[in-house]
Homo-oligomer: A and B are copies of this chain.
Amino acid sequence: MAYRETEKMRQRKAEARKKIIECTWECVSEGGFRSARITRIAGLAGVATGTIYRHFESREDLFAEIFRLATQREVDKVAEALAVDGSAVERLDNALRQFARRALKGPMKAWALIAEPVDPKVEEERLVYRKAYANLFEQAIRSGITEGCIPDQDARLTSTCLVGAISESLVGPLSPTQTETPPGHDNNEDELVDTIVCFCLRGLTGTRS
């Protein structure tokens, strides 16, 4: 009997945790980490604010967890996009395009994950996950060097160039504060993605695509 009670409690606890995470992600998706206030999350999740702190030591810990879960999904998508048939350059093209398109489709989410000034705990996770992306790109670059479609280079270093180029170039277009449309910049999404991917592939291969 005592054991069953514990199981039930454990389950309830896990459900509450899941609900808190879902509601936090809902806030972050709509208005960035900034808008994810504990009282608002508690309201959405239908729990007391104290309950949130029983599951997460602090708002920062909750944010770091949200960041990890959401970014891992994106890392997995990049891994999938790299796993298609084709040459290494084609696979990288596919993955970079996919990353940029997903970001532009959910600009607030992407802004929150890529660039929103948050908290050192989230920043630390950003460094970790940027390395995760770089590791995936590095493998593909190495394959490309072996296949002969990418010239010999320090794949570890150029993989980080890719991560930097694609994230930084999306920060502008994604920024919720970026309201100005500069002259000659028609915000055409396809053109935007083409320009970024072209820069990245040229950087790797030295060939105009």
Contact = CB atoms under 8 A, between A and B. Distances in A.
A118 B120 contact: yes
Q: Interface extent on A, as a size class?
A: 35 or more
Nearest to A205: B202
A157 B203 contact: no
Identical copies in the complex = 2
Main secondary structure of the interface of A (DSSP, over half): helix
Contact of A117 (B120, B184, B203): B120
A120 B133 CA distance: 23
Interface in A159-209: 160-169, 171-173, 175, 182, 184-185, 191-192, 195-196, 198-200, 202-209
Contacts of A134: 172
A115 interface: yes
Interface string A113-135: 00101111111101100110010
Contacts of A165: 161-162, 164-165, 168, 203
18 contacts: A117-B121, A117-B122, A127-B175, A131-B172, A153-B195, A154-B192, A156-B182, A157-B192, A157-B195, A158-B169, A162-B165, A164-B168, A164-B169, A167-B168, A199-B203, A199-B204, A202-B203, A203-B203
3 nearest interchain CB pairs? A164-B168, A117-B123, A203-B203
Interface of A: 115, 117-124, 126-127, 130-131, 134, 151, 153-154, 156-158, 160-169, 171-173, 175, 182, 184-185, 191-192, 195-196, 198-200, 202-209
